[in-house]
Amino acid sequence: MALLLPGGIATPGLVWKQRRRASICKASAAPSPDPAWRTNVVSERAARSGVEISRSIEECEAAVVSGNPPEAPPVPAKPKAPQGTPLVTPLRLSSRPRRNRKSAALRAAFQETTLTPANFILPLFIHEGEQDSPIGAMPGCFRLGWKHGLVDEVYKARDVGVNSVVLFPKIPDALKSATGDEAYNPNGLVPRAIRILKDKYPDLVIYTDVALDPYSSDGHDGIVREDGVIMNDETVHQLCKQAVAQAEAGADVVSPSDMMDGRVGAIRTALDEAGYHDVSIMAYTAKYASAFYGPFREALDSNPRFGDKKTYQMNPGNYREALLEVHADESEGADILMVKPAMPYLDVIRLLRDTSALPISAYQVSGEYSMIKAAASQGMLDEKKAVLESLLCIKRAGADVILTYAALQAARWLCGEK
C-alpha cells in the first residue's frame, strides 16, 4: 500500500524508508543476555526509575574498591578447533583485514557502496494491446498495455520506492517507415503513455528513448540511405522533433540512444527553442555495438533488417574513444552520461566517473538480465544474490543510477519482501 499524505500524493520514498527501518531493526536485534546478568540490569533500571532504590553509587563504588565487584558474565571459553588442526605459531601480521569483516554489524558499518530503490530506473515496454503480453527472451518482462498494464506496473514500482521509468514502444509495422516519422506523432504511443502516467502520478520521473529504431522499417536508429549508410544530420533533425514531442507530452528526461554525432547539442537547442528548458538530457554517451541487446530487439521487434549498428555504436574493444564521446556530450549540454551495457563495461563506467562531474548512469541491458534469469531457472545461480550483487558492483564502479529490468524485483528485495 502506498502511503498517502493529506494532499493525497503517494510518497513511495517514505514508504520505502519505513519498511527499510523495520527490516534494519529486525536484522540488528541483539541476542538476549543470560538470566543472572539480566537480574542486575533489571534492578539497576528499577533504581533509576525510582521504583526501588537499593544501593547508592557511592556504596557500589566502595564495594568495587574494596575488592567485591558485582557479578558479570564469565569470560567466554576459547572456541575449540577441530581435531587435526595444525598447531602453528600465529603469523606476525601488522594488519589483518578480516577483523573488519568479523560480524554482520561490522561489515554493514564499513560497507562503502549501498543500493537503494531511488537509484533504479525501470525500463518498461509498452504496446497498443489491452492485455500484457510476455516477452519470450526476457522472462518476467511484458509488453504492457499502455492504458492499464503500464499504470499498474508503475504503481507497483512506486510502492517500493522506484519512482523513475523509461519507456520503450512496440510500434505496429504499418506505422513504421524509412524516415520514422511516427516518432514525433504527438498522439503516438509514447506521448499518450506519458500523458496517462503524468495524469495519475504527477511526481513520477519519466525518461524517454530518443532514436528511430522502433519506428524505422529498416530497424536502424537512423535514416538509411540507398547504399546502406545511416545518415547522421538528417537523422538528428528527426530526433529533435521526437524529443520535443516527448517533452510536450510531459517527459522529464529525454535520452538519445541513437549515437548520431551532434545530437545532444541539437536536441538541447530544439528543446530550449520550444520552451522546454527544464527537460533534461540523459545522453547514451558510451553505447557499444553489443550482442547483449538481443532480447530487447525481440521485445520491440526492432532487429535491423540488414547489417549491424557498428557505424554508429562503439567498438567493444575501445576505451579511450569513450572520452571523445564524454567531451562531446558534456560540451553539448548533457545532464547525465550513460554507459551501456553495464557489467561487461565496468572499466568504462569508472572512466566516466573519474572524468566527469556529471551524474553517471549505467544500463544493465536485456542480455545481462536474461543471462541471470536463464541461469537461475536452471538452478545454476541464486537469482536474488546474483541480481543484487550485479547492481551493487555496477554502482561501485561509479554509476549513480542504474537502468535495470530487475528494478522492481530488486527494490522489493531491498525492502525485505520476497
Active site positions, annotated: 287, 340
Q: Which of residues 349 and 365 has its CB atom nearest to ligand PBG in the complex? A: 365
Least distance to ligand PBG, CB of residue 33, Å: 52
Residues 47 and 52: their CA atoms lie apart, in Å, by 5
What's the burial of 134, exposed, middle or buried (CB within 10 Å: 0-12/13-18/19+)?
exposed
C-alpha closest to that of 370 among 313, 293, 304: 293
Least distance to ligand PBG, CB of residue 377, Å: 19
Query: 3-state DSSP helix/strand/coil percent for the chain, to nearest 5?
Result: 45, 15, 40
Strand 205-210, strand 133-134: pairing: unpaired
Q: Does 345 sit near ligand PBG (CB under 6 A)? A: no
Least distance to ligand PBG, CB of residue 132, Å: 18
Region of 29-37, 97-105, 290-298, 390-398 interacting with ligand PBG (CB under 6 A): 290-298
C-alpha closest to that of 284 among 246, 310, 314, 252: 314
Residues 212 and 239: their CA atoms lie apart, in Å, by 7
Q: Does 211 sit near ligand PBG (CB under 6 A)? A: yes
The residue written with cell numbers 551501456 in the block is 340
Size of the site for ligand PBG (CB under 6 A): 12
Q: Does 246 sit near ligand PBG (CB under 6 A)? A: no
Is the distance from CB of 253 to CB of 228 less than 8 angstroms?
A: no
Q: Which three cell numbers stand for residue 85?
A: 588442526
Q: Which of residues 11 and 290 has its CB atom nearest to ligand PBG in the complex? A: 290
Least distance to ligand PBG, CB of residue 212, Å: 8
Q: Does 366 sit near ligand PBG (CB under 6 A)? A: yes
Region of 7-15, 157-165, 205-213, 235-243 interacting with ligand PBG (CB under 6 A): 205-213
Residues 180 and 218: their CA atoms lie apart, in Å, by 9
Least distance to ligand PBG, CB of residue 230, Å: 12
Each residue 252-271 as x (binds ligand PBG by CB under 6 A) or -, in order, gives -----xx-------------
Q: What are the DSSP calls for 404-418, one per residue?
A: ETTHHHHHHHHTT--
User: Which position among 153, 159, 209, 332 is part of the footprint of ligand PBG (CB under 6 A)?
Assistant: 209
Q: Does 141 sit near ligand PBG (CB under 6 A)? A: no
φ/ψ of 231, rounded to 5, equals -80, 120
User: Which position among 215, 288, 293, 413 is part of the footprint of ligand PBG (CB under 6 A)?
Assistant: 293
Exposed e or buried b for every residue in 316-342, given b needs 16+ CB within 10 A? beeeeebbebbebbbebbbbbbbbbbb
Least distance to ligand PBG, CB of residue 2, Å: 28
C-alpha closest to that of 367 among 212, 187, 135, 109: 135
Q: Which of residues 10 and 402 has its CB atom nearest to ligand PBG in the complex? A: 402
Q: Does 296 sit near ligand PBG (CB under 6 A)? A: yes
Region of 104-112, 207-215, 239-247, 323-331 interacting with ligand PBG (CB under 6 A): 207-215
Least distance to ligand PBG, CB of residue 141, Å: 10
Least distance to ligand PBG, CB of residue 27, Å: 33
Q: Which of residues 5-44 bind ligand PBG (CB under 6 A)?
A: none
Q: Which of residues 252 and 258 has its CB atom nearest to ligand PBG in the complex? A: 258
Q: Which of residues 161 and 169 has its CB atom nearest to ligand PBG in the complex? A: 169
User: Which position among 153, 182, 213, 332 is part of the footprint of ligand PBG (CB under 6 A)?
Assistant: 213
User: Which position among 126, 223, 365, 402 is part of the footprint of ligand PBG (CB under 6 A)?
Assistant: 365
Q: Does 221 sit near ligand PBG (CB under 6 A)? A: yes
Residues 121 and 258: their CA atoms lie apart, in Å, by 19
3-state secondary structure of 210: strand
Tell me the Cα Rg of the chain: 28
Alpha helical stretches, state H, 66-116: 104-109
Which residues form the interface with ligand PBG (CB under 6 A)?
209, 211, 213, 221, 257-258, 293, 296-297, 309, 365-366
